[in-house]
């Protein structure tokens, strides 16, 4: 069935892990008649969690699109993971949705995942609705949760459906819009007499009426005059408040037993904005702003918000059409590359199920297979090429080195991880030039565990993870002069080079070379060879074999042979002088130090400062976080060697609220008590310099 933009609802379903998001989407899909049996997360049979790794772990790991068609409305539910290691899914989904349904568990209440989902909605200017799940459980406390929601999210929170437990132990639901009550049997709604909640019900209705009155002057006048609102006025005022962000209505029910889901679905239709409101601001090639409206007759503008990499089928690009119409087989222009691309067939997706469709209209979501476009790209009509803002993904701070399990697979790793990054842009991958290790970074240990599993299952590349090595440096603290004399006679021309070089510490991270030779004891044409020998020798320090920095070598004197001297002989002589002098020049190990910026709630700043000290760091200061009024930014300098598990520590300390950035700034002297350990590790790695003679 073709839907007009106004009859499409694109809804991000987000919240804490385990709060029931996937079960809710599955229940709504079953209610619509699209499936004959309601799937279960525990059995790995839901439409949303179709990835084998999701079924194995019984948790959502990727954003998935599940369309539900009911009463002439198409609801595109974007079910996103609640695990903090997979926040990328929520960022991707937010780019394609006009509204966010924040799920809150009736058992555990307002959690960090709900806070993050709500803030994501506010940040992206999305309409918000809250659904309290699992209300049929005995320990569910709706009114305690409602107070928590108001405390956390402010006065915009407004109850719309309220539960009450009847004498027989069943749960009934009161619709505050219609002032009617219902109970459910096998998902079927049965109207009952309005239970007596006393003053509590009157207070809830009064609070809702006041919130609605603030959305319209006419309703405000009626409210002050004490006239009751009609159901139509309540819905109209509530819809205006939801779409402007003034009101966040709270619904409740049970997904497992399909209770009150009909009221939720109906109010999504009435209150949430449709696909026809999918307006956006893009920029053209000259940097001018271009306003887009969901007009099917306008030039095409579509956004690739997610990519799935399949080793057999190829890439599947999930696309939200903002204006115009995306037609299978058409030629579009990629605004990033400015290259034309011919589309394959267009499909609608329901989890992993794909259904061919001739076109994807403005305001709707679909997918195209085997495109070269990547996540974040804008696809346009050649007559109007514009770019939408690039997504900002969570920062990957948990780093591990990749070790190939099978010999011969080394060449496959880069390509396979590249395919993973197409699917999950928050993963980063580099070849560390210092340690020669392949380093992959993600949002946490589970994130990288899943990445490793996908490498094996999808691309046939088996790897293990280990802690990445730290790229230390070496330097000297004292000045010392030594002779390097290289002399060999092997018949015919021999080899002869003789130098006196003074090695001294200097500022900066470079190797400086200077000559102060008098009287031609070393001819000028051999100066470059001496410098080359010093620089080659400095590539491996004398303590642990790490490169030497902050050292100045001054050529003072020497001698040469008119026949046997050569560039190679003076290179070797310089290396001998280095080996003789540097052990006597107070060699030290240097460790990399970085700047930490930890964004944490104010209550945790003391713990962060204490942890910085434990990790041999220095606190530099603390400032308010401009993007989060209740958070602080703690700035510090910490050795990189102490940061390996900081991602895990910060998540545990702040229950997932905190995040950080860490950037290298300079090298500092490693405390002497730690030198022995680093030297021992270098020996184990075979890092120590050998004899070059």
Residue 315 has what pLDDT?
87
Domains of the chain and any CATH numbers: 5-277 (3.40.50.300), 280-380 (2.40.30.10), 398-466 (3.30.70.870), 473-585 (3.30.230.10), 590-679 (3.30.70.240)
445's torsion region: left (phi>0), alpha (psi -120 to 50) or beta? alpha
Residue 41 has pLDDT above 50, yes or no: yes
DSSP 8-state code for residue 118:
H
Q: Is residue 546 packed enough to be buried (19+ CB in 10 Å), middle (13-18) or exposed (0-12)?
A: buried
Residue among 283, 220, 248, 226 at smallest CA distance from 110: 248
- The reported pTM is 0.89
CB 439 within 8 A of CB 480: no
**Cα–Cα distance list, 49 to 40, 261, 432 (Å):** 10, 21, 35
CB 70 within 8 A of CB 98: no
For 670-681, write each residue's pLDDT tens digit. Answer: 999 999 999 998
Residues 6+ away with beta carbon under 8 Å from 558:
497, 498, 499, 500, 517, 521, 522, 573
Secondary structure element (H or E) that encloses residue 90, with its range: helix 88-94
Place of tokens 């770019």: 387
Percent of the chain at pLDDT exceeding 90: 69
Assigned token pair, 270: 């009435």
Share the mean pLDDT of the chain.
91
CA 422 to chain CA mean position, Å:
13
Cα(56)–Cα(456) distance, rounded to whole angstroms?
15
Place of tokens 């009450």: 164
Residue 16 has pLDDT above 70, yes or no: yes
Q: If DSSP codes are grouped into helix, strand and coil, which group holds residue 261?
A: helix
The residue count for the chain: 693
Residue 688 has what pLDDT?
62
Rounded mean pLDDT, 565-594: 93
- The pLDDT-based confidence of 475 (bands split at 50, 70, 90) is very high
CA 278 to chain CA mean position, Å:
24
DSSP 8-state code for residue 373:
-
Q: If DSSP codes are grouped into helix, strand and coil, which group holds residue 274?
A: coil
Residue 692 has what pLDDT?
42
Residue among 389, 381, 161, 415 at smallest CA distance from 266: 161
CB 543 within 8 A of CB 675: yes
CB 462 within 8 A of CB 536: no
Residue 691 has what pLDDT?
42
Q: Any idea of the CA torsion for 148, 101, 118, 214, to the nearest 10 degrees?
A: -80
Residue 687 has what pLDDT?
66
Q: If DSSP codes are grouped into helix, strand and coil, which group holds residue 549?
A: coil
Residue among 582, 649, 638, 620 at smallest CA distance from 470: 638
The string of DSSP codes covering 51-76 is SHHHHHHTS--S-EEEEEEETTEEEE
For 227-265, write each residue's pLDDT tens digit. Answer: 888 888 888 999 999 999 999 999 999 999 999 999 999
The string of DSSP codes covering 427-465 is -EEEE-TTT--EEEEESSHHHHHHHHHHHHHHH---EEE
Residue among 571, 558, 561 at smallest CA distance from 494: 561
Residue 690 has what pLDDT?
46
Cα(165)–Cα(455) distance, rounded to whole angstroms?
49
For 362-381, write each residue's pLDDT tens digit. Answer: 999 999 998 889 999 999 99
Residue among 671, 660, 661, 668 at smallest CA distance from 593: 668
């Amino acid at each position: 069935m073709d839907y007009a933009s106004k009859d499409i609802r694109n809804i991000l379903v987000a919240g804490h892990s385990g709060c029931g998001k996937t079960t809710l989407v599955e229940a709504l899909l079953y209610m619509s008649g699209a499936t004959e049996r309601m799937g279960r997360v525990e059995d790995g049979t839901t439409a949303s969690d179709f990835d084998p790794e999701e079924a194995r772990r019984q948790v959502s790991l990727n954003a998935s699109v599940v369309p539900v068609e009911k009463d002439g409305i198409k609801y595109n539910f974007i079910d996103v993971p609640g695990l903090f290691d997979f926040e990328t899914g929520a960022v991707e989904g937010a780019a394609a949705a006009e509204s966010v349904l924040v799920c809150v568990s009736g058992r555990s209440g307002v959690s960090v995942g709900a806070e993050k989902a709500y803030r994501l909605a506010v940040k992206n200017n999305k309409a918000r609705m809250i659904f309290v799940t699992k209300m049929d459980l005995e320990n569910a406390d709706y009114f305690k949760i409602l107070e928590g929601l108001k405390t956390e999210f402010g006065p915009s929170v407004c109850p719309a459906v309220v539960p009450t437990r009847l004498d027989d132990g069943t749960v009934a639901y009161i619709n505050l819009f219609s002032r009617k009550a219902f109970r459910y049997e096998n998902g079927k709604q049965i109207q009952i007499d309005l239970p007596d909640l006393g003053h509590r019900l009157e207070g809830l209705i009064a609070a809702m009426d006041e919130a609605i009155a603030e959305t319209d002057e006419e309703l405000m006048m009626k409210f002050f005059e004490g006239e009751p609102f009609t159901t139509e006025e309540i819905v109209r005022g509530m819809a205006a408040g939801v779409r402007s962000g003034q009101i966040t209505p709270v619904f409740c029910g049970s997904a497992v037993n399909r209770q009150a889901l009909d009221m939720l679905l109906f109010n999504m239709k009435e209150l949430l904005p449709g696909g026809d409101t999918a307006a956006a601001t893009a920029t053209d090639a000259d940097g001018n702003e271009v306003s887009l409206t969901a007009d099917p007759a306008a030039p095409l503008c579509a956004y690739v918000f997610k990519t799935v990499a399949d080793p057999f089928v190829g890439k599947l690009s999930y696309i939200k059409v903002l204006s115009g119409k995306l037609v299978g087989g058409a030629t579009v222009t990629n605004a990033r590359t400015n290259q034309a691309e011919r589309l394959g067939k267009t499909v609608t997706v329901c989890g992993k199920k794909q259904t061919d469709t001739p076109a994807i209209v403005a305001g709707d979501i679909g997918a195209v297979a085997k495109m070269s476009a990547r996540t974040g790209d804008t696809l346009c009509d050649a007559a109007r090429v514009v770019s939408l803002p690039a997504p900002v993904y969570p920062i990957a701070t948990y780093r591990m080195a990749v070790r190939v399990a099978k010999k011969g697979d080394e060449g496959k790793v880069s390509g396979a991880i590249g395919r993973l990054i197409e699917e999950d842009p928050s993963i980063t991958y580099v070849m560390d030039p210092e340690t020669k290790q392949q380093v992959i970074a993600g949002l946490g240990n589970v994130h990288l565990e899943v990445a490793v599993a996908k490498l094996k299952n999808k691309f046939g590349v088996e790897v293990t993870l280990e802690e990445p090595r730290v790229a230390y440096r070496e330097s000297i603290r004292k000045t010392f002069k030594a002779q390097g004399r290289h002399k060999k006679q092997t018949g015919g021309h021999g080899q002869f080079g003789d130098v006196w070089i003074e090695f001294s510490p200097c500022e900066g991270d470079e190797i400086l070379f200077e000559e102060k030779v008098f009287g031609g004891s070393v001819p000028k044409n051999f100066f470059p060879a001496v410098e080359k020998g010093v620089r080659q020798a400095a590539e491996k320090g004398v303590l642990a074999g790490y490169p030497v920095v902050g050292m100045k070598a001054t050529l003072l004197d020497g001698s040469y042979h008119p026949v046997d001297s050569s560039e190679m002989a003076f290179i070797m002589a310089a290396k001998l002088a280095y080996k003789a002098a540097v052990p006597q020049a107070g060699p030290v190990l240097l460790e990399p130090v970085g700047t930490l910026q930890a964004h944490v709630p104010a209550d945790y700043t003391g713990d962060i400062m204490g942890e910085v000290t434990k990790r041999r760091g220095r606190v530099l200061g603390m400032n308010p976080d401009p993007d989060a009024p209740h958070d602080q930014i703690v700035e510090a300098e910490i050795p990189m060697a102490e940061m390996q598990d900081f991602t895990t520590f910060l998540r545990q300390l702040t229950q997932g609220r905190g995040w950080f950035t860490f950037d290298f700034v300079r090298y500092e002297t490693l405390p002497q008590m730690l030198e022995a350990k680093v030297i021992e590790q270098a020996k184990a790695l075979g890092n120590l310099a050998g004899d070059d003679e």
